Amino acid sequence: MSCDPKPPSNEPAIRVVMMPRDTNGQGTIFGGVILSLIDQAAYVEAVRQAHHRYVTVKFKEVEFHEPVFVGDVLSLYANATRIGRTSIDIHIRACARRRDNLEEVVKVTEADVVFVAIDEQGKPTPVVKQ
């Protein structure tokens, strides 16, 4: 599976070297660790679009295609796909550059995340680009 960066951003929202503390009993990285990174990458993109406080309200289907190993560099690319009145939909692609073969980059997963902008009282507030 290819994992070429796609417009509008060729730069990852975040890039992380996967460490032994994040492994499960099979010796691969926990799916929950990757989900947490997806959430963080989506937040980076949401704030890039409009500076607000956000809460995650929805993860759409997430299917893991490839395992991630200790030492792999995981890059998460984020693109806003819809900006609503109070919400932002963000598409994430997670790609792993293999530690043993730096030329090998595999698509680990993709996800769509929905954030809602909130005010100081935690109530939805309009998304306004600043």
Q: What are phi and psi of 74, to 5 degrees?
A: -95, 120
Q: Which domains does the chain have, with CATH numbers?
A: 14-118 (3.10.129.10)
- Local confidence band at 1 (pLDDT 50, 70, 90 cut-offs): very low
Q: Convert the pLDDT of each residue in 8-55 to its tens digit.
A: 557 899 999 999 999 999 999 999 999 999 999 999 999 999 999 999
3 state SS of 121: coil
Q: What is the pLDDT of residues 83-103, one digit of tens each?
A: 999 999 999 999 999 999 989
The pLDDT value recorded for residue 7 is 46
What is the dihedral angle through the alpha carbons of 36, 123, 79, 99, rounded to the nearest 10 degrees?
Answer: -10
How is 14-74 classified by DSSP, letter by letter? EEEE--GGGB-TTSBB-HHHHHHHHHHHHHHHHHHHS--EEEEEEE------S--BTT-EE
Exposure on the CB side of residue 89, measured as CA atoms within 13 A: 7
Query: Considering the entire predicted model, what is its pTM?
Result: 0.90
Give the pLDDT confidence of 96-130 residue by residue, as tens digits: 999 999 899 999 999 999 999 999 999 999 998 76
Q: What is the CA radius of gyration of the chain?
A: 15
- Per-residue pLDDT, 10: 76
What pLDDT score does 4 carry? 61
